[in-house]
Every structure is written in C-alpha cells, then in structure tokens.
C-alpha cells in the first residue's frame, strides 16, 4: 500500500471490588485489539462486554477476549473502539479484498459474516448502537444511499438499520461503539 497510516491500540483501565474496597483490576492495552495488516490504518478493539444478566461485583475474568462474537446477543453489550482509515486505502491498487475478508473473519467473528459482498461495508446487526466520533470525520450511509457527515463529538444512534461507515477524508476517523443486543419480531 502506498499510504502509511498508523493506529494506536486503546488503553483500558478496569476497576473492581476486592475485600469491599475499590481497586484497579487492570491497566493496559485492550487485549482484544487488532491492527489489520490487510487494511493499513484499520484498528478494531473489543474493550468490554457484558452478559444479558449483569450483577455486581463482576467476577475477575475478562469478558471481552479474542473470539467473542462481536454482535451481542439480546441484552448483552459490547464496547468497541475502531479506527477507520480513509477509503482511499481500499481503492489502492495493492489492496487485496480476499485477504481483508479473511482477516476480518478471524478478528471480527459474527460481524464479518454480516458484511455484504455485493455492497462492500454494508451490514445489519440486531442491535441498538450508540456511536460516538472520537476523532476525525466519517460518513454514515444507509441502505437507500442517504448519507450524513459526522465530525468529532457527534453521536449516531443506530436502531438495527442496514448501514456502512465511509471515511471520505484523508485522515483516519476513530469511533467508539456501544452495541446493545436486541431482538427482531
């Protein structure tokens, strides 16, 4: 690829309760983060996950380790930080869509299978998502081609819609996604 775009794995601080006291359980890089080799500048990370029935204090296991299904089941949640490189990365002649697809299937289980082959990037999940632009600019595209341009600090609420994220700019865009599993009739 002719464009070099770096991505940074987010830091995650987890607190808990031990012997009735608040403590820091961990502080370090998100363990379930991946810097995609086939899509330079694309970074995905699952920072945390909760089950459908949540009680405190949480056990000491990490609920967001690699292999977890990205789309949560009804009532479950996922917190993700994703950096999107400019779309020009995928337009580069050296871009290999087969390698990108394989890498996404390995590191985005349950989500990669939802990406539509005939409409790259388009997908639908059975979730309500709170999507926050942390840095950069990104465009949210819906199934009828309608788009909205989002900037740093903007929030989109996805309600189970078919959509794609497009970075039409020249710089990476970083987003936080809180996915809440839902059911469809």
Residue 85 maps to a domain: yes
Three-state secondary structure string covering 41-85? CCEEEEEEEECCCCCCCCCCCCCCCCCCCCCCCCCCEEEEEEEEC
Residue that has been written with the tokens 């694309």 in this structure: 42
pLDDT, one tens digit per residue, over 25-38 is: 999 999 999 999 99
Tell me if 115 sits within 8 A of 123, measured CB to CB.
Answer: yes
Residue 6 maps to a domain: no
Residue 1 maps to a domain: no
- pLDDT score at 112: 96
Residue 4 maps to a domain: no
CATH number, domain at 156?
2.60.120.10
Residue 174 maps to a domain: yes
Residue 91 maps to a domain: yes
Range of the domain at 114: 11-181
- pLDDT score at 165: 98
Q: How many domains does the chain contain in total?
A: 1
User: Can you give the pTM of this predicted structure?
Assistant: 0.93
Residue 33 maps to a domain: yes
Residue 92 maps to a domain: yes
Tens-digit pLDDT string for the chain (185 aa): 444 566 789 999 999 998 999 999 999 999 999 999 999 999 999 999 999 998 888 876 899 999 999 999 999 999 999 999 999 999 999 999 999 999 999 999 999 999 999 999 999 999 999 999 999 999 999 999 999 999 999 999 999 999 999 999 999 999 999 999 999 98
- pLDDT score at 6: 66
- pLDDT score at 1: 40
- pLDDT score at 2: 41
């Amino acid at each position: 690829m002719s464009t070099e775009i770096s991505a940074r794995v987010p830091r995650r601080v987890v607190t808990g309760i031990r012997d009735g006291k608040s403590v820091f359980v961990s502080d370090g890089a998100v363990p379930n983060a991946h810097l995609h080799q086939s899509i330079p500048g694309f970074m995905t990370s699952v920072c945390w996950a909760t089950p459908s029935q949540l009680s405190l204090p949480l056990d000491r296991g990490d609920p967001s380790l690699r292999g977890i299904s990205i789309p949560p089941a009804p009532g479950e949640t996922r917190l993700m930080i994703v950096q999107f490189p400019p779309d020009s990365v995928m337009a580069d002649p050296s871009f290999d869509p087969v390698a990108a697809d394989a890498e996404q299937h390995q590191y985005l289980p349950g989500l990669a299978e939802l990406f539509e082959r005939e409409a790259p990037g388009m997908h639908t999940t059975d979730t309500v998502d709170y999507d926050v632009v942390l840095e950069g600019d990104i465009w949210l595209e819906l199934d009828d081609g309608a788009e909205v341009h989002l900037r740093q600090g903007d929030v989109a609420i996805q309600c189970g819609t078919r959509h794609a994220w497009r970075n039409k700019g020249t710089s990476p865009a970083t987003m936080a996604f809180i996915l809440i599993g839902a059911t469809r009739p």
